[in-house]
Amino acid sequence: MSEAALSRKAGSRPLAWRGRVLPLVIFGLLALVPVLSGADYALNLFERVMIFGIAALALDLIVGFGGLVSFGHAAFVGLGAYAAGILAFHGLGDTLLALPAAILLAALFAAATGAISLRTRGVYFIMITLAFGQMAFFTASSLAPYGGDDGMTLRMRNTLAGFDVFANEHVFYYATFAAALGVYVLCRALVGSRFGRVLRGARENPTRMAALGYEVFRYQLVAYVIAGAIAGIAGFLLANATNFVSPAYMSWQRSGELIVMVMFGGIGTLEGAVLGAAAYILLSEYLSQWTEHWALIFGPLLVAVVLFARGGLIGAIDRLRRRRP
Amino acid sequence: MSLLLLIVQTLNGLQFGVLLFLIAAGLTLVFGVMDFINLAHGVQYMLGAYLAVMFYALTGSFLAALVLALIASLAFGLLLEFTIFRKLYDRDHLEQVIATFGIILFLNEGVKVVWGASPLSLPVPEALSGSVVLMPGLLYPVWRIVIIVAGLAVALLLYGLVTWTRVGMLVRAGASNARMVSVLGIDIRRLFMIVFGFGTMLAGFAGIMIAPILSVQPGMGDTVLILAFVVIVIGGIGSIRGAFLAALLIGLVDTLGRSFAVDILRLFMAPSPARTVGPALASMLIYLLMALVLYVRPAGLFPAKGRG
């Protein structure tokens, strides 16, 4: 019997655990970080965890629930970052303007590219999203006034309605936290809604969904645009967290990392996306302090996760819980 | 934009295209026959170059280095197949992508540890160094011509193998419907191993041949890998013919685009924006091409898979 069938047989217990306790634990711990350690280094590290958590949540929405493996997801993050960066460069560095701009730019790019990409299936979808990601990457590299290849440093963080509140690391940390929590709640609601069920149905059997009268393409496109918009939020936050925007944010390796994060945590679980982002960033940070050749350990670890730990971290936790009732 | 420059760049584009074909051929077969996305194909190319440098240092002969590096590439590829990839064939694409991504991370770092992070170089073989005069005023490096000829020879050889031999027939059958081949009593695992080993060797060969022109450094396989994927997607997954035509197309478009984009844009644009837009457009050109091809033909130009 497959893992999935087993967990279904065990009733909704793991799900209730996963849907209630786990998010409480994750976000509870994230909320406590500034209390446990007020050091800017720790705050910055966990800001990155949450920012990539947001981007991974968006990716999990389309990969895990829509079955659409996007290999160009980093482009949306980069677009969000550039929207914030370019506006700030021209002296328009207020959140009330920059955040909507970041979301809108990423969403528009997602709508345009999604409409084309969704004509293809499977591997071809992976490759065409990669192609659009690369186009965004090279466009950003050519923006000579905004640093070109090298990217550009931002003078200061975005203001909020004219007040320079995000200069305080604690305030910015909790703003990022609120964004992550909000995005998580939004994704959870989307997945549980009728929209989410249609999306999952289309993943399993698009022909049947079409026969039932759903326009699969339209649902998938909307999901793709939502995912892009959410990644745009992550980009806005990333530009602020690092005070820096760079084409490197959009490189295909970044897109690959985002997929790894989702996979690491457990695909199609939402909590897994956040856990995976945390595991990826904390682990690579820890390993890189320990040895400069951290990839020698990290690479085989990825292979091991695929070979021996199907379902990622969430899958492993589920298995542990089943063993000890 | 003189005629001479155009000819030189066309030759360069051809050489680049041939190189891409050597890498893409293995990739498209592995992908088409085994339905296996092998991101680690690019590091096989890198490894080929490093092995050639190492064996050249040991033997002092390019030919010996070539042969030994080919054998070592094949052995390493088969080792990977035997220990890891074999377990991944039945998994979904996403898991294959992650596992082979892990192998990229490991090997890129691994060559840094073994051979150091700074770029290495391999000298062009004495007899084939220098340039020849192709036309009055047109000098062209011999080694690049060697690459073009070797690549075309491999393409012909592959074409012959795939069209006229029994293994080639099985490969074609496997690309259009692997399960059916297996049901008909063919040991599909052994076929997979042959295809995989051959593909690995071709990627290694590409790395060895390009080593005298490029600097050999960690990560050199990553860019080429993405380009090879663009090639096989445009050509249609599993199709050698498609890979060949798409590789030449991509090689020419990319090389000519990079050399002439600014000049062409300047015909209908002020020089200074042309200088900014040109290079970006040139880098993007092949991706635009891929998006366009997939928009018109969502399964590439020459899809090998049967319907369903």
Q: What is the ipTM of this complex?
A: 0.82
CA separation for the pair A12, A14 (Å, rounded): 6
CA separation for the pair B154, B149 (Å, rounded): 9
Q: Is the pLDDT of residue A280 over 80?
A: yes
| Domain spans in chain A, listed from the N-terminal domain onward | 3-323
Find the mean pLDDT for residues B263-270: 83
What's the confidence (pLDDT) of residue A12? 46
Q: Is the pLDDT of residue A14 over 70?
A: no
Most confident range (mean pLDDT) of A44-58, A154-168, A204-218, B276-290 is A44-58
Chain B residue with the nearest C-alpha to that of A302: B102
Distance in Å, alpha carbon of B207 to nearest chain A alpha carbon: 22
What's the confidence (pLDDT) of residue A185? 95
Cα atoms found within 13 Å of the Cα of residue A33, Cβ hemisphere only: 26
Suggest the residue from A261, A306, A307, A313 to mutate for an interface test with chain B (most B CBs closer than 10 A): A306
Each residue of A101-142: pLDDT tens digit? 999 999 999 999 999 899 888 888 988 898 899 889 988 988
A132 to chain B: which residues are within 8 Å by CB?
287, 291
pTM of the model: 0.86
What's the confidence (pLDDT) of residue A11? 44
Q: Is the pLDDT of residue B198 over 70?
A: yes
Decide if A124 and B233 are in contact by the 8 Å CB cutoff: yes
Decide if A131 and B87 are in contact by the 8 Å CB cutoff: no
What's the confidence (pLDDT) of residue B278? 82
Which residues lie closer than 8 Å to A315 by C-beta, 6 or more apart?
A3, A266, A309
Distance in Å, alpha carbon of B96 to nearest chain A alpha carbon: 8
Find the mean pLDDT for residues B126-132: 85
Find the mean pLDDT for residues B227-235: 91
Each residue of A53-75: pLDDT tens digit? 999 999 999 999 999 999 999 99
Find the mean pLDDT for residues A79-92: 93
Q: Which of A71-75, A167-171, A194-198 has the lowest mean pLDDT?
A: A167-171
Nearest to B218 by CA among B94, B79, B93, B114: B114
The pair of structure tokens assigned to A61 is: 């929405």
Task: List the single residue in B102, B280, B288 with the smallest CB-CB distance to A141.
Answer: B280
What's the confidence (pLDDT) of residue A10? 42
Mean pLDDT of chain B: 89
Suggest the residue from B104, B287, B296 to mutate for an interface test with chain A (most A CBs closer than 10 A): B287
| Ramachandran sector of residue B118 (left: φ over 0; alpha: ψ -120 to 50; beta: rest) | beta
Residue-level length of chain B: 308
What's the confidence (pLDDT) of residue A16? 65
Q: Calculate what percentage of chain B has a pLDDT beyond 70.
A: 98
Most confident range (mean pLDDT) of A240-254, A310-324, B273-287, B289-303 is A240-254
Decide if B291 and A116 are in contact by the 8 Å CB cutoff: yes
The architecture that CATH gives domain A3-323 is Orthogonal Bundle (1.10)
CA separation for the pair B273, A152 (Å, rounded): 20
Which residues lie closer than 8 Å to B130 by C-beta, 6 or more apart?
B141, B142
Find the mean pLDDT for residues B60-89: 92
CA distances to B89, B105, B205 from B73, in Å: 21, 18, 9
Distance in Å, alpha carbon of A100 to nearest chain B alpha carbon: 27
Report the alpha-carbon angle A132-A133-A139, nearest 5: 90
